[in-house]
Amino acid sequence: ISIEKFIEEIPKAELHLHIEGTFEPELLFEIAKRNNKKIKYSTIADLKNAYRFNNLQEFLDIYYAGANVLIEEKDFYDLTWAYLIKIHTQNVVHTEIFFDPQTHTDRGIPFNTVIKGIYRALEDGKNKLGITYKLILSFLRHLDEASAFNTLKEALPYKKWISGVGLDSSEVGNPPSKFERVFAKAKEEGFLTVAHAGEEGPAEYIWEALDILKVTRIDHGNRCLEDDKLVQHLAKLKIPLTLCPLSNLELKVVSDLKDHPIIKMMDKGLLVTVNSDDPAYFGGYMNENYLGITKALDLSKKQITELVKNSFKASWLTSKEKEEKI
């Protein structure tokens, strides 16, 4: 079979996905309309036209503005359900998704409204589409420690719905160490931990995420390649990196997919995975990410299979569940 068909058909897992980043322009306009929320762009085409970014911050500004139209529990349900329907067509059978509660609670939307809408859709996805999931609460690193602590406190009553905590948003100037105490408390409460590090920030931030936040997985991690000792450490401990090729291209982390380090990383023994990050903004879901690197780097079916297996290995499924899925 063709390489396209091979990518489409192989059952996949996604480990780095922001639910607010799956907000497609059509649904965004629909929800804005029913909530009487004004948006800066008059047409869907105008909005799509604004999706040209020179760096992470330019993307984040538009991503947070888009999320502003989400008000009711149904909005969060519809957003999540649309994502699940989409990945079901791409044979994604397991997904571990981030949500950014502070983006909503800072606008006066109750934590309960946000998580209930997302959770109900995830449960429906499990029961009706057979997609298993984990939910990860991600702290916004441009906000302060007190805000993160407050968010963690709000999450405690929903502990059984949330598997772990993460760290995202503007990286440079907001090192992992800023959240040392929050992550220590989250761990104490039984949450697993991950953090975005080394996307735009230096290799040092990856060390901090590992040594200070004690994370078990690094989101992005591209810049580990600048530090040989770090690469050896990540390889030796099999710490997964959740790479996002189309995101890296759109945010100018790489200037061409041909320069994407994923194969170099595999050759160095790193446990790397392919993910979509914010698919509505970066031009593709899982299959487009796999196809993009496959074409740019001439990947074989064997290499694709290895990447897919890595994602299940790096997931938070139990060993028994992993065996069933791989």
Q: What positions carry a catalytic annotation?
A: 199
Counting contacts by CB under 6 A, is residue 164 touching ligand ADE? no
Cβ 174 to ligand ADE shortest distance, Å: 10
Handedness of CA 173, 176, 181, 187 (dihedral sign): positive
16 annotated as belonging to a binding site for a ligand: yes
Counting contacts by CB under 5 A, is residue 277 touching Zn ion? yes
Q: Which does 24 bind (CB under 5 to 8 A by kind): Zn ion, ligand ADE, none?
A: none
88 annotated as belonging to a binding site for a ligand: no
In the list 13, 14, 15, 18, the residue contacting ligand ADE (rule: CB under 6 A) is 18
Cβ 30 to ligand ADE shortest distance, Å: 22
Counting contacts by CB under 6 A, is residue 199 touching ligand ADE? yes
Counting contacts by CB under 5 A, is residue 250 touching Zn ion? no
Report the DSSP beta bridge partners of residue 243: 274
CB-based closest residue to ligand ADE: 168
220 annotated as belonging to a binding site for a ligand: no
Report the DSSP beta bridge partners of residue 167: 139
Cβ 208 to Zn ion shortest distance, Å: 17
| Residue at token pair 């609460």 | 137
| Number of chain residues interacting with Zn ion (CB under 5 A) | 1
Q: Which does 21 bind (CB under 5 to 8 A by kind): Zn ion, ligand ADE, none?
A: ligand ADE
Cα–Cα distance measured from residue 79 to residue 279, given in angstroms and rounded to the nearest whole number: 13
Instruction: Tell me whether residue 24 or residue 277 sits nearer to Zn ion (CB atom).
Output: 277
Counting contacts by CB under 5 A, is residue 20 touching Zn ion? no
CA atoms within 13 A on the CB side of 251: 28
Q: Which does 25 bind (CB under 5 to 8 A by kind): ligand ADE, Zn ion, none?
A: none
Q: Which residues contribute to the annotated binding site? A: 16, 18, 196, 277-278
Residues that bind ligand ADE (CB under 6 A): 18, 21, 56, 63, 168-169, 196, 199, 247, 277-278
